[in-house]
Amino acid sequence: MKAKNFIAVAFFGFIIISCNVIDDLLTFSIDNQTTVTIPSGFPVNTSLELVTPDVPSNSSTAFENNNTNAELVKDVKLKEMKLTVTNPANKSFSFLKSIHIYISTNDSDEIELAFLDDINATSNTLNLTCTTAKLDKYVKASSFKLRTKAITKEAIPQDISIKADMKFQVTADPF
């Protein structure tokens, strides 16, 4: 009887491990990038909202390069969102109090993508906290829009350009 129980536990353990290994083999990343400009003269402690132009998702090429297609994609999540001040070159994120970034498409409602509150940064890069939102329909689309809601804590004497680097983790079904 003990042998049957051991065999059953070993069999189910093997199945669970096999499924995780298959998911790892069918998981890849899609990188996207866009730039947003915070205009000078914006009042301190006021909410600023900026919308990016359409961001090409690059998904169809990434799916093809990973031997899959949009119909087989079962899970897309944002794994990393990094912001970098690109202009002026010596500017840090010390001017920023909080930032929330939302994603939408023409066919899908807007949802929160990433955020960071109580920012106390002295560098020109920020790693935002990614939400756990399921992003399949946004990344499968040919393009998406990002809306940024930021609150500043100091005056902005000149425009500030910020590059947003996004890394999406994609998992596809084998068939």
Its CATH class, for the domain covering 30-172, is: mainly beta
Amino acid at 17: I
Domain residue spans of the chain: 30-172
Question: What's the confidence (pLDDT) of residue 24?
Answer: 44
What integer pLDDT is reported at residue 109 of this predicted model? 92
User: 3: pLDDT confidence band, cut at 50, 70 and 90?
Assistant: low
Mean pLDDT value of segment 10-17: 50
Q: CB within 8 A of 140, min separation 6: which ones?
A: 57, 59, 70, 73, 76
What mean pLDDT value characterizes the chain? Answer: 84
- pLDDT tens for each residue of 101-139: 999 998 889 999 999 999 988 899 999 999 999 999 999
- Give me 21's structure tokens: 């290994």
For 76-93, how does the pLDDT look when each residue is reduced to its tens digit (9 = 90+)? Answer: 999 999 999 999 988 999
